[in-house]
Chain A
Amino acid sequence: MSEDKAREQNSIPTSKVERSAKFVKTGFKVGGNYIKHYSKKLFNPAMDRTELNEDNAADIYESLSELKGSALKVAQMLSMDKNILPKAYVDQFSQSQYNAPPLSGPLIVQTFRKYFGKSPEQIYDKFNLRSTNAASIGQVHEAELNGQKLAVKIQYPGVGDSISSDLKLIKPFAFRLLGMSEKELNVYMREVEERLVEETDYELEVRRSIEFSNACANLDNIVFPTYYPELSSKRIITMSWLEGMHLKEFMLTNPSQELRNQIGQALWDFYNYQQHELRAVHADPHPGNFLILPDGQLGVIDFGCIKEMPEDFYYPFFSLTSTNLLENKEETIKAFRKLEMIQPNDSPQQIEFYYGMYHKMIGLFAKPYMSSTFDFSETAFFEELYGFGEQIAKMPEFKQARGVKHFIYVNRTNFGLYNILHELKAQVKTDTYKPHVMLVH
């Protein structure tokens, strides 16, 4: 209990100076880890980078988990891209998807009084002041009203303000971690900032959650909590409580292939229905946002991050993943140009090179779409995918910005989806909601 308490009461550094200090500290530590690594390597040349990566990941996670808010969100995003990050980073970052130290009880009471003029006890029949888990920019509490069990999400104060300054602070780390160039990052950081700022708007989230859960109501085996707009505000969301297991716990129960397929199918349909019918997608497919219910249905619990796909991205991109366009080199290059993967001042050799690489990349990405069913337990596919990702990451040609900004969330969504399906070891019918294809002109 006292241990618990100590963690709970840890302060969150929110002023920019404090946050900078945190990051600087991490910078030193990471630098130190490199020194440690190379000095050890002097004596043991055979040593690989695993230990170094583990040290770095632990230090970065430690500092991020103290910062909370958007920094934690970035940690979560980084953990999505398993194909970019070495395994050690991923393991540490995955922790951040479930636990972060919560806020004090009185602050929660205060937040309620500010937005509703009442304390939580006056609003709900029961309210547990100790939070059950963190939701990266907020925390979740259990409550009850009229016999209905509720999940109440409360946002940390000051999160919105600190997002852009956080992103500025995290940039140098992202350079180092992802080996990206600054130009490339700026394009993407703006896109990320937009999404993150949207995520802090809980009123928007409630509206979208209701919209999306209505739009997806016809899908099989997908359930959404009921949202209560009258019990929600800028910083508080009240929804019904879904009882279920997270993916990791679920897999430990040794579920049957049939059940895994059912859940995988639900997930696939959910995402592809959104992408191809709604043109806007729940762009946060990390395992913490899903619950597997006892009756084998999939619960979706977080609509904070929605990526809308404009037509000038959707058509060129998904035309490529549809069956035969990739076989037509001329049309493919046209599409690549529209997506800025091939740029106007590229030389013929460059065009040839990027055409080859992106052709392979999209071919890999589109593989599940190419047949009517796909077995996501197939390790070979993922090894090829990650292997190719790593190969690309090392190429100097890919240090520059390539591709329109929409890729960042669309890739995150689809690779996130593939990853979850892989962890589920699910076989999925992939032709349920097909892309709407149109030739690029």
Chain B
Amino acid sequence: MATTESIQSAYIDYVLTEGHEPKSVYLFAKQNEMTEEEFYRFFGSFEAVEQNIWTELARRTITEAKGQEIWAQYSARERALSFFYSFFELLKGNRSFAVYSLKKQPLTLSNPRVLEPMKHLFESFADDILRDGLETGELTDRKFFSNKYKDALWMQFGFVLKFWINDNSAGFEKTDEAIEKGVNVTFDLFQRSPIDNLLDYGKFLAKNGGLKERMGF
């Protein structure tokens, strides 16, 4: 009896051995002693299989990260860092597949389709931690911008993923550095910064009109 997992692992095994996806669902099903219909009961296409593998990884990461005792004490920034580290640690076990899956489509800043469903999961997770961060005042609530924070995080994620694919360092230590720096920079931008103070000051000057004339402009 086929399961999501059995199909996924058979698929991974196939693409990594053959270097390409099976010619048809029919052939793939036959090789794995199931009917085509059975396959479709779980997935609509091979792409859906890949998408699900990615989403599954992210889901496991989130469960694992949240399962840590320390989680409750973490700030939003640390939660994001923790997600990144856990995700890439988990991904190590599936590196060949990840490389295969991402190299098929050029990984640019636009999202590869295989990551599409995972992105939704990521965003809802990011939303959660960012909202907490905004509530505690760790992050600055900025009109129009606050709801773009999660997009910035996703972009950061895409960047680290690309970095990791090309990382040759032992134990992917460089990726750890990329995460530490990248996520921190992103969160630095979410925090109150001199720009906010500058805008604030500008607003103040604008509101207290007449100043311009007095200053002789």
Q: Report which A residues bind B (CB closer than 8 A).
A: 5, 9-14, 103-107, 109-111, 113-114, 119, 121, 129, 157-158, 161
Contact = CB atoms under 8 A, between A and B. Distances in A.
Contacts of B177: 14, 157-158
B173 A157 contact: yes
B181 A11 contact: yes
B187 A9 contact: yes
Question: Which size class do B's interface residues fall under?
Answer: 20 to 34
Interface in B22-76: 68-70, 73-75
30 contacts: A5-B75, A9-B184, A9-B187, A10-B184, A11-B181, A11-B184, A103-B180, A104-B78, A104-B180, A105-B70, A105-B74, A105-B82, A106-B74, A106-B78, A106-B82, A106-B85, A107-B81, A107-B176, A107-B180, A109-B68, A109-B70, A121-B68, A121-B70, A129-B70, A157-B173, A157-B176, A157-B177, A158-B174, A158-B176, A161-B169
Contacts of B86: 110
Contact of B85 (A12, A13, A14, A107): A107
Nearest to B75: A5
Contact of B89 (A5, A114, A158): A114
B16 interface: no
Nearest to B88: A110
Interface in B185-214: 185, 187-188
A317 B206 CA distance: 75
A10 B78 CA distance: 13
A158 B180 CA distance: 12
A104 B77 contact: yes
B171 interface: yes
Given A107-B180, A114-B171, 15 more contacts: A5-B75, A11-B180, A11-B185, A13-B181, A105-B74, A106-B81, A106-B85, A107-B179, A109-B70, A109-B82, A110-B176, A113-B89, A121-B68, A121-B69, A161-B169
A158 B169 CA distance: 9
Nearest first, the 6 A-B pairs at minimum CB distance are A106-B81, A110-B85, A106-B82, A11-B181, A157-B173, A157-B176
Given A157-B173, A157-B177, A109 B85 contact: yes
Nearest to B179: A107
A104 B171 CA distance: 19
Contacts of A161: 169
Nearest to A160: B173
Contacts of B188: 9, 11
Contact of B173 (A9, A106, A109, A158): A158
A177 B155 CA distance: 43
